Structure 1
């Protein structure tokens, strides 16, 4: 006789990783908000050229720029498979890999004020 309450652990809500705030990190040198924003824009402009689908890149950008609860909803609705809860490594439903650098998902601890501020 078999157990009637057996369940496959890979199905259900537990299989999806919940997004969390990234761990603090430090850039190699002090960086201004303007420099950080330029790096981010350059990444988002070039990322789709390295593979994957444009709509997934767009969803990841929206998730990174949103509050945590909204980011989770965006990722879930886009069908993004989260490998790392801080969104640095994700996959789409077809298996394409999407890697986001730390400077895209969070701010460095050594962010300095712009001189023009």
Structure 2
């Protein structure tokens, strides 16, 4: 038996990941522009602090389906604050913030013709 304040394993650190809410870019954007923004973010993200292996895990999670993304963050020890992965922490308390354009496509994405 645990004490009244104890928690079962996984109830705080492993929130269920869900798809992010729809969002709109400030102006219509092409897929190529979106991919460029994403690549620039991932290239510079480790410079904002935190551990490279957590950034790598977050990138893999954002590019995977929800089931695989959940397995990735759980195995990397990522503490998910927002279920859409926009705010996460590592086990040492470092904060990782992911912008909308990393998490999903905007509603005003210009489709290639």
Shorter-chain TM range is over 0.9
Match of 1:14 in 2: 11
> Equivalent residue for 1:45?
43
Aligned to 1:74: 72
1:113 CA drift (Å): 1.9
Pairwise mapping of residues 1-117 of structure 1 onto structure 2 (< 5 A)? 7-8=4-5, 10-15=7-12, 16-114=14-112, 117=113
Unmatched 5+ residue regions in structure 1?
Answer: none
Partner SS, residue 90 of structure 1: strand
Give the secondary-structure state (helix, strand or coil) at the position aligned to 2:11.
helix
CA RMSD of aligned residues (A): 1.5
Unpaired runs of 5+ in structure 2? none
Q: Rg larger in 1 or in 2? A: 1
Alpha-carbon deviation of 1:14?
2.4
Moved more, 91-100 or 14-23: 14-23
Provide the aligned length of Structure 1 versus Structure 2. 112
- CA deviation string 1:55-104 (max 9, x = no partner): 00000000000000000000000000001000000000000000000000
